[in-house]
Amino acid sequence: MPEASAKPAAVPLGTQTTKAQQQKGKDKNSAGAQETKAQRKAEKAARRAAKVSELGKSSHLPQEAIAQARAQSQAKQSRAASGTSNASSVGGGSSNSVVNATVSSAISSLTAQSTAIHGSDILDKRVGLFKHLEITRRSGTADAAKDIHPVILALTLQFASYTVIGSSARCRATLRAFQTVIKDYRTPVGTTLSRNLTNHLSRQIDFLITARPLSITMGNAIRWLKQEISVVSIDVSDDQARESLIEKIETYIRDKIEVADRVIVQSAVKHIGNGDVILAFSRSAVVEQVFLEANLRGIEFSVVVVDTRPFYEGKEMVRRLARAGLKCEYVLISGLSYVLNDITSVFLGAHAVLSNGQLYSRVGTALVAMSAKRKNIPVIVCCESIKFSNRVQLDSVTFNELGSPDELMNISIDSTPKPGPLKNWRDLPNLKLLNILYDLTPPEYIKKIVTEVGSLPPSSVPVIIREYNSA
């Protein structure tokens, strides 16, 4: 039999019209859902930007950046409303781009100052000997993951802009931020606090590192905190565990930093006598407290503060000491040799003390210590034991931290930046700027290290490290 030819069944015209209307209704509903979703994302981005802005205001972030963030956020929200209506006509294709622009502009405007300097030209103009070192402040908070706490975002901005500077100050600020992170932390279903909280904090720490590398003090504190989290019993409720960790952090700050500084001050004051002329380099919080305590005890002495670029931290120490009634002199490091003739002793702070007795501190410290040693001037270092490190280092090249080369353009010592002749350094192919932050001082140039466990020579540092690790 011949095969019957297959013909499509005829569809009534009214049925075709009904299907077209149904498809049109589905497209309309889909566009409406995408519009609602885009609006929710825009509102969420606005709330997050507002929260980061408030944290930035309380943390002394630049007010211009905050105002710019708010203005751009409001502008993006208004454009998002019109953008979502356009998206409904084209199937919602542009809604995601509008939302992403709202999120990135609201947060990245807060970090414009810290991200503008990280162009590829800086990487191309690094000094060859230090190319293995990373330049600080190489990214902003626009790349932050959604689980990064807003207080960590604000702290990262402070680190990147050098608003919070100094080893102890950074450690204290980091632990305070972790207290807030732990307070707001909630353990996900199916896991335990002792396992998941460590991973959560690690992500916060990884983001902090994008602003500046961890200091020795911060590394020691973070290792201690992770150890405390790991021993939290699974039988303890999450609320009790969080309260216990927050209290332990507070105790750690008090014992290892605040109380340790007071003990160091009481011990170091004994090395100051009437008529002494003491030299201090840059600014150290504990050294500043030593001078203020000696002044309160009625000891008559004077202080010469030697300072250096690019931060000019010594200016703040001079202001505080002069306000307290001390006789002070301020000189840049280029005039060091002219003031050493009248100096009776040198007091230095520390970023870290390594296990081989080397002092790791602000660049220029080694020059000050060596110059004092040549004139038989005793060099006394005030350092908390939390700054001691197991690391052994013989030079300042293998491990160090690089600041932005643009910071060397400022040649002014007042609050108003002055670009100077280096403002067009990027356009000079044969010119490279090196802004290295730390140097190493050999132990033979140091007479004594004053800690909360006593005054000791640099050769005794491994003993303190051993006791610290065993505890």
Angle, CA 234 vertex, CA 230 and CA 237 arms, to 5°: 110
Number of structural domains the chain divides into: 3
Q: Which residue has the tokens 């902090």?
A: 208
258 pLDDT tier (thresholds 50, 70, 90): very high
- 185 in a structural domain: yes
CB atoms under 10 Å from CB of 458, counted, come to: 22
User: Is 96 within 8 Å of 142 (Cβ atoms)?
Assistant: no
Question: What is the C-alpha to C-alpha distance for residues 24 and 31, in angstroms, rounded to an integer?
Answer: 11
Judge if 342 and 321 occupy the same domain. yes
* pLDDT recorded at residue 440: 95
Computed over its alpha carbons, how large is the radius of gyration of the chain? Answer: 29
Judge if 300 and 339 occupy the same domain. yes
Judge if 285 and 213 occupy the same domain. no
* pLDDT recorded at residue 17: 46
Judge if 178 and 221 occupy the same domain. yes
Least confident of 26-35, 377-386, 422-431: 26-35
Judge if 378 and 234 occupy the same domain. no
* pLDDT recorded at residue 132: 82
Judge if 108 and 163 occupy the same domain. no
Least confident of 12-16, 288-292, 449-453: 12-16
Of 259, 283, 312, the one marking the end of a domain is 259
Judge if 359 and 216 occupy the same domain. no
Judge if 336 and 459 occupy the same domain. yes
Of 92, 115, 138, the one marking the end of a domain is 115
- What CATH number should be reported for the domain holding residue 349? 3.40.50.10470
Q: Please check the confidence at residue 79 and state whether its pLDDT lies above 90.
A: no
- 429 in a structural domain: no
- 14 in a structural domain: no
Mean pLDDT, the chain, as a whole number? 80
**Domain ranges, residue 104:** 19-115
Convert the pLDDT of each residue in 351-366 to its tens digit: 999 999 999 999 999 9
Count of residues making up the chain: 471
* pLDDT recorded at residue 379: 97
- 267 in a structural domain: no
Strands 454-456 and 388-389: unpaired
177 pLDDT tier (thresholds 50, 70, 90): very high
Q: Please check the confidence at residue 24 and state whether its pLDDT lies above 90.
A: no
298 pLDDT tier (thresholds 50, 70, 90): very high
Of 236, 259, 282, the one marking the end of a domain is 259
- How large is the average pLDDT for residues 313-335? 94
- 7 in a structural domain: no
Question: What is the C-alpha to C-alpha distance for residues 461 and 314, in angstroms, rounded to an integer?
Answer: 28
Judge if 353 and 466 occupy the same domain. yes
Judge if 462 and 348 occupy the same domain. yes
74 pLDDT tier (thresholds 50, 70, 90): low
Question: What is the C-alpha to C-alpha distance for residues 138 and 352, in angstroms, rounded to an integer?
Answer: 24
Least confident of 142-146, 204-208, 462-466: 142-146
Q: Which residue has the tokens 């566009």?
A: 31
Judge if 373 and 456 occupy the same domain. yes
- 288 in a structural domain: yes
Judge if 239 and 284 occupy the same domain. no
- 6 in a structural domain: no
- 426 in a structural domain: no
310 cis-preceded (ω within 30 degrees of 0): yes
Q: Please check the confidence at residue 335 and state whether its pLDDT lies above 50.
A: yes
Q: What percent of the chain has pLDDT over 90?
A: 52
